[in-house]
Amino acid sequence: MIAFLGMGLLGGNFVRALRSRGEEVRVWNRTRAKADELTAVGAVVAASPADAVRGATRVHIVVSDDAAVDDVLAQAALEKGATVVDHTTTTPTGTAARAARFAASGITYLHAPVFMGPKNALESTGIMLASGDRATFDRLSPELSKMTGTLSYVGPKPERAAGLKLLGNLFLVSMIGGLVDMFALAKAMNIPPAEALGLFDLFNPGASLPGRAKSLLRAEFSKPSWELTMARKDARLMMEEASRGEVPLVLIPALAAVMDRFIAEGHGQEDWTVIGKEALTP
């Protein structure tokens, strides 16, 4: 029997997928109504985390953050020999501390965050990362592989998957922030959103990303393809047009402030990616 704690958008669909494969699943959720929905697919609803995990071969949890994971697992009163697979997006610091506590208590803990939406969880697609003890991963991977399209072991440090998950989510947030600014500027310039989006039919910025990332890692700032002063000029033009249209931008003003600092420090004639220099300095 598998215990699953947390019946949000991911947890509920993970359980539906498990049940479609014939797995016996006992579920718990802080708001009981969400757990009760899973009775339609044959899941058994537990009254508490402790009731849910009792007798389980492994315990899965996907809740909101470190505090929620710690609180729910404390309520579960896990016994020595229990196995926990945590799919929650958490901090590396919290994950490392949790792994150390469980190891000292004889509880097996594997952090396995995911790049998935609800549809991925239901269809067992998407990406699942995992880090921690390799033997534990090898033992659990046959079952975890059934839950995802790609299962990737990213190293023995328990907190490594948590760090990589945050990096991925940071990029997603930044990407959407860029799109928000793009549509805001389009609005200020009276360009319909669909027409603005059509730019990507001609111009694919993603194609240059690998090359720019490698140049950034090599700190190749002295041979600019786009000087920082010119990138800052373009940021000024964007903000001026947005201001005329009385439409606020989200990311560009913050980036412009960083550009100003680097220009003041004498980096204006270097490639604009020099603004990432400090992040790459050990």
**How much is the pLDDT for 79?**
94
- Residue 281: per-residue pLDDT: 86
Q: For the chain, what percent of residues have pLDDT higher than 70?
A: 100
Mean pLDDT taken over the chain:
97
220 pLDDT band, cuts 50/70/90, is: confident
CATH of the structural domain 2-158, one choice from 1.10.3080.10, 3.40.50.720, 3.60.15.10, 3.30.9.10: 3.40.50.720
46 pLDDT higher than 90: yes
pLDDT for the residue numbered 211: 86
In whole angstroms, give the CA distance from residue 74 to residue 4. 15
CA proximity to 165, closest of 234, 112, 201: 112
Q: How far is CA 1 from CA 4, 49, 153, 188, in A?
A: 10, 14, 25, 57
Instruction: List the single range of 72-86, 139-153, 194-208, 212-226 with lowest mean pLDDT.
Output: 212-226
* Residue 212: predicted pLDDT: 86
Q: Residue 198: its pLDDT value, please? A: 96
Answer for the pair 224, 271: CB distance below 8 angstroms, yes or no: yes
In CATH, what class is 179-280?
Answer: mainly alpha
pLDDT of residue 258: 98
Q: Give the tens place of pLDDT for each residue, 107-160.
A: 999 999 999 999 999 999 999 999 999 999 999 999 999 999 999 999 999 999
Tokens of 210: 């690998």
Question: What is the residue extent of each domain of the chain?
Answer: 2-158, 179-280
pLDDT higher than threshold 90 for residue 282: no
Confidence of residue 215 (pLDDT cuts 50, 70, 90): confident
